[in-house]
């Protein structure tokens, strides 16, 4: 830290991303990436000619990508804003709709970045505890005078609200923006995108990092009323008009067009999740009900950190969150069937040592 850093930044606790080891080969079940490559249409779009065109700036309006996204989601291109990962559009939204006098509300156990952005932007955070079983009580989100962010399905718990429950929150907060972060929605929950036509206070955020196997490309979408998207564009064009690079624009559009590949790979992940759930239950694990590409699991044989470390020693990376309510748990990303088989066999050995 230099002596020049502002007090706000000095006090801030930055987000800690999951480990991305560049050397030792791990079975990587720690950052909810897809075990499958993106659609072959993505590689086909990334030609040598396109590489040569990298001398040119990308289209700041992202027109081709927006047309493909509009078709996929049944929206107008003006109702969508692409970001450099959904992280960027979430940040744009908090920058646009919150400030020192306009707080943001979110759950105590949820995506860790919401808290970091609130600190970075000097926005007061209203943290609303989840219930004992990690479920979210929509009643606690009624009649707030704050912007609301809900990850649905939630991470790391995997639980999902029904659109009717989100709809109640939208109705009870007509003067607040309600941001629904649908990073995991493609793995079995119901999307709130259809509610966009009905509620001008709804902003839905999705990512290409999980269900579209494009974490390395950095692409996410914010979707909402034309007015909300215009607000986000004010932030984008005040910060970085070229936020999506040329190759990612091409990759994203190709991925959106190949709907059948998208559906097949999501279904494969869900199938592997169901198999892994049964195998973990047989080993005595407690699980939350997952609507995502990960499982949130605990065993009474050892704590979360101990389990994380034992797996790491055997070459398997999972995620442990060292907070009071999550310390007994680990979050396990769904990999290929073969990887999950190795996980289960490894867990058997680890747990046998604890007998």
Ligand X SMILES: *Cc1c(COP(=O)(O)O)cnc(C)c1O
- The site for ligand X (CB under 6 A) is made up of 32, 85-87, 111, 151, 155, 181, 183, 207, 209, 215, 220
216 or 315: CB nearest ligand X:
216
User: Minimum Å distance from CB 108 to ligand X?
Assistant: 15
CB atoms within 10 A of CB 219: 29
106 or 308: CB nearest ligand X:
106
Q: Which two tokens stand for residue 212?
A: 């579209």
H-state helical runs in 190-245: 226-236
User: Minimum Å distance from CB 220 to ligand X?
Assistant: 4
151 or 170: CB nearest ligand X:
151
CA distances from residue 21 to 25, 30, 66, 308, 332 in whole angstroms, order as listed: 8, 11, 34, 15, 17
User: Minimum Å distance from CB 87 to ligand X?
Assistant: 3
85 or 304: CB nearest ligand X:
85
DSSP 241: T
112 or 303: CB nearest ligand X:
112
Burial label, 279 (beta-carbon count in 10 A; 0-12, 13-18, 19+) = middle
H-state helical runs in the chain: 7-11, 40-45, 48-52, 63-73, 86-97, 113-120, 163-172, 226-236, 246-257, 259-282, 304-313, 337-354
201 or 248: CB nearest ligand X:
248
| CB closest to ligand X, residue no | 85
294 or 299: CB nearest ligand X:
294
Among 83, 96, 46, 45, CA closest to 228: 96
32 or 201: CB nearest ligand X:
32
208 or 285: CB nearest ligand X:
208
User: Minimum Å distance from CB 82 to ligand X?
Assistant: 11
User: Minimum Å distance from CB 317 to ligand X?
Assistant: 16
User: Minimum Å distance from CB 180 to ligand X?
Assistant: 10
User: Minimum Å distance from CB 154 to ligand X?
Assistant: 8
Three-class secondary structure of residue 316 per DSSP: strand
Q: In whole angstroms, give the CA distance from residue 195 to residue 203.
A: 10
Provide the edge-to-edge strand list for the sheet that holds 202-207. 80-83, 220-224, 202-207, 178-181, 147-151, 104-107, 125-128
Q: In whole angstroms, give the CA distance from residue 221 to residue 88.
A: 9
Place of tokens 């991925």: 255
User: Minimum Å distance from CB 186 to ligand X?
Assistant: 12
CA distances from residue 43 to 72, 99, 204, 217 in whole angstroms, order as listed: 20, 41, 28, 12
Question: Is 78 in contact with 226 (CB distance < 8 Å)?
Answer: yes
User: Minimum Å distance from CB 329 to ligand X?
Assistant: 16
């Amino acid at each position: 830290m230099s002596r020049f850093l502002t007090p706000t930044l000095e006090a801030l606790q930055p987000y800690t991303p999951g480990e991305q080891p560049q050397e030792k080969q791990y079975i990587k079940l720690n950052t909810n990436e897809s075990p499958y490559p993106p659609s072959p249409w993505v590689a086909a779009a990334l030609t040598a000619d396109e590489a040569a065109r990298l001398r040119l700036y990308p289209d700041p309006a992202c027109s081709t990508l927006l047309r493909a996204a509009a078709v996929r989601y049944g929206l107008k291109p003006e109702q969508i804003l692409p970001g450099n990962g959904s992280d960027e559009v979430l940040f744009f939204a908090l920058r646009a709709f919150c400030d020192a006098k306009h707080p943001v509300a979110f759950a105590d156990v949820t995506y860790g970045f919401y808290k970091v952005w609130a600190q970075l932007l000097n926005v007061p955070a209203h943290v609303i505890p989840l219930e004992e079983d990690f479920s979210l009580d929509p009643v606690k989100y009624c009649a707030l005078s704050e912007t609301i962010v809900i990850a649905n399905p939630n991470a790391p718990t995997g639980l999902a609200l029904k659109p009717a429950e989100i709809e109640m929150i939208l109705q009870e907060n007509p003067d607040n923006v309600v941001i629904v972060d649908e990073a995991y929605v493609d793995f079995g929950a119901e999307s709130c995108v259809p509610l966009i036509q009905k509620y001008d206070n709804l902003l839905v955020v999705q990512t290409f990092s999980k269900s579209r196997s494009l974490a390395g490309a950095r692409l996410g979408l914010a979707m909402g009323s034309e007015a909300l998207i215009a607000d986000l564009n004010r932030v984008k064009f005040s910060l970085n008009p070229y936020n999506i690079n040329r190759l990612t624009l091409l990759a994203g559009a190709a991925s959106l067009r190949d709907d059948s590949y998208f559906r097949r790979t999501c279904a494969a992940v869900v199938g592997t999740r169901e198999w892994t759930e049964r195998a973990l239950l047989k080993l005595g694990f407690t699980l939350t009900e997952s609507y995502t590409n990960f499982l949130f699991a605990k065993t009474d044989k050892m704590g979360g950190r101990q389990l994380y470390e034992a797996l790491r020693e055997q070459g398997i990376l999972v995620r442990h969150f060292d907070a009071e309510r999550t310390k007994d748990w680990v979050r396990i990303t769904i990999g290929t069937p073969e990887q999950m088989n190795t996980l289960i066999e490894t867990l058997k050995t680890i747990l046998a040592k604890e007998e």
